[in-house]
Amino acid sequence: MKVHEDYLGNLWFKQEAHEHRLNHAVKGAHAVIPFQCEECWMLNLEGRLPVDKLDDTYKMMIRRANLDAIAGRAEGTIKSHAATVLRTAKNCARFGKTPAYEPLGPHPFKDNSGMGLAVEMQYYGATAKGKIDSHIQWDSMRKPRSTYTQCWKASPKGIEEGYSFSSGLGRATFTSCPSQSDWFSHFCLGAESRIGFASEANKPLHIRIVVKLLDRIKEEALRQPTQIANELYKVGTAIAVSQAGSLRGPETFMLDLAGIRKHIMLGKHGTMPDNPLHVGTDLFDAPHVYLALIGKFKGENGVREHLVPVASKSLSGLETRWWVEKLIEVRESEGHIGGPAFGRPDGTIAPMAEYDDTLHTFLKEIQSEGDDLILETDDVVKNYRFFRSFRKSAEGRARAAGLDSDMQNAMNRWKKIENARGRRPKFNMVDHYSTARDLMPVTWRYSYVQ
């Protein structure tokens, strides 16, 4: 893997740590993810114990499916739930109470989670080219799931479950199909994070939802201990900069802490023009904050640094500067002035899956209020992620504000790259600062209408 360095020359992340997470379970995972060992699953699926050598591949596929299911949940979430279970058990032991948790076993002698399908998907992907392949494509691996679901619907049991009811414009069907179980959903998320992203497109969020989301995160952070509050502030900042900068998820997580610290005072005391959206208005001194990003972006063939000036506060009330300054404060309290802006306390870059987990928690809370901001039939986990949701939200706001497609393309594909006309532009951060400020009629106005 090519080494990526930040503004100060520090490594962004270690491949070994990422691979270790995918290839090792998390202590306490059985408390939140249904778990059975290879031998138990062989009994459930085949009615017999595994045979040495004969079933080695079979057992390997079961283990890989178990690890993918565990990887489908954020490590911090698993540890938090496991710690709560352990603490509750100890508390109950002190006064002789049986914990209220449901027993985690024994499981029935059948496949009610979808392990059989998961094993078949693992092998299907690995042999998609007619032989065992070291590189598995997620698009190839996920194909058997839809076929399995259709076969289930065509079975006598599936026919009985085929009745549905409507709620608004949506339609819901109750089913016991294993491919729709929670365990199988986590397995798919884990396998997807290991192999690559599925092609299913993320949906945009209305700006009212984004603003409400940030308000909820801020309120929750004030109620939580410092360590949890810090993680919430990081997620809030990721949402704010993704929306303001029209960033895809991987781009958001390339925010450079040293870069934003270096430029944080620039634009803080700017003067708001009388008519900022009028074409030709001088935006050179408008209140702004710089997003400093490092990485490989769409349309580029190398790793470079980027400065993107965005409005300190948007028309909808998106307080981008407040969130960026809060992120700097949080990371400094963790002992970091450089490296990934969205990093863990130990300095490693945070995986997008952890932020998605928190995002889904708050979106479900907003959805449960029943005010139609998010319809109850909307699959929050499936449709909304950092990968594309906020980028699409920003594009929708820009279209609604009447910004032409040329301005959107310039914002989304970096005007400096467009002006290079196919050449590979090279510049240092100081040179880019001057260029970035000249581009504020594009980047500032685009972010201001959010």
Q: What is the CA radius of gyration of the chain?
A: 24
Q: How far apart are the first and last CA of the chain?
A: 37
Residue-wise pLDDT tens digits, 139-150 = 778 888 888 988
At 424 the pLDDT is 43
Residue 86 token pair: 């352990």
pLDDT exceeds 70 at position 435: no
DSSP 349-414: BPPHHHHHHHHHHHHHHHHHT-SSSS-TTS-HHHH--TTTHHHHHHHHHHHHTT--HHHHHHHHHT
CA distances from 211 to 170, 217, 360, 396, 398 (A): 26, 10, 15, 15, 16
- Mean of pLDDT values over 121-136: 72
**249 in Cβ contact with 385 (< 8 Å):** yes
pLDDT exceeds 60 at position 168: no
Banded model confidence at residue 128, pLDDT cuts 50, 70, 90? low
Choose the weakest-confidence range: 170-184, 353-367, 403-417: 403-417
Q: Give the predicted TM-score (pTM) of the model.
A: 0.58
pLDDT exceeds 50 at position 48: yes
- Mean of pLDDT values over 48-56: 92
Helices (H), 72-142: 75-94, 115-126, 138-141
Q: How many CB atoms lie within 10 A of CB 352?
A: 20
Question: Which residues does residue 292 pair with via DSSP β-bridges, in sequence order?
Answer: 307
- Mean of pLDDT values over 50-56: 92
> Could you tell me which of 399, 362, 351, 369 has the C-alpha nearest to residue 384?
362
Banded model confidence at residue 153, pLDDT cuts 50, 70, 90? confident
Average pLDDT, the chain: 83
d(CA 338, CA 352): 19
> Could you tell me which of 174, 33, 36, 22 has the C-alpha nearest to residue 105?
36
Please give the distance of CA 397 from its chain centroid, rounded to a whole number.
Answer: 21
Identify the structural domains of the chain with CATH numbers, from first to last: 15-195 (no CATH), 207-448 (1.10.443)
> Could you tell me which of 118, 109, 99 has the C-alpha nearest to residue 33?
118
> Could you tell me which of 180, 186, 195, 185 has the C-alpha nearest to residue 69?
186
Question: Which residues does residue 5 pair with via DSSP β-bridges, in sequence order?
Answer: 11
CA distances from 210 to 11, 214, 236, 239, 366 (A): 32, 6, 10, 8, 11
Beta strands in 83-231 (DSSP E): 165-167, 170-172
> Could you tell me which of 76, 67, 198, 184 has the C-alpha nearest to residue 137?
198
**286 in Cβ contact with 444 (< 8 Å):** yes
Residue 8 token pair: 């100060």
- Mean of pLDDT values over 325-349: 93
- Mean of pLDDT values over 238-260: 91
% of the chain with per-residue pLDDT over 90: 44
pLDDT exceeds 50 at position 430: no
Q: Which residues of 150-165 are buried (b: 16+ CB within 10 A; e: fewer)?
A: eebeeeeebeeeeeee
At 137 the pLDDT is 67
Banded model confidence at residue 304, pLDDT cuts 50, 70, 90? low
pLDDT exceeds 90 at position 268: yes
pLDDT exceeds 70 at position 290: yes
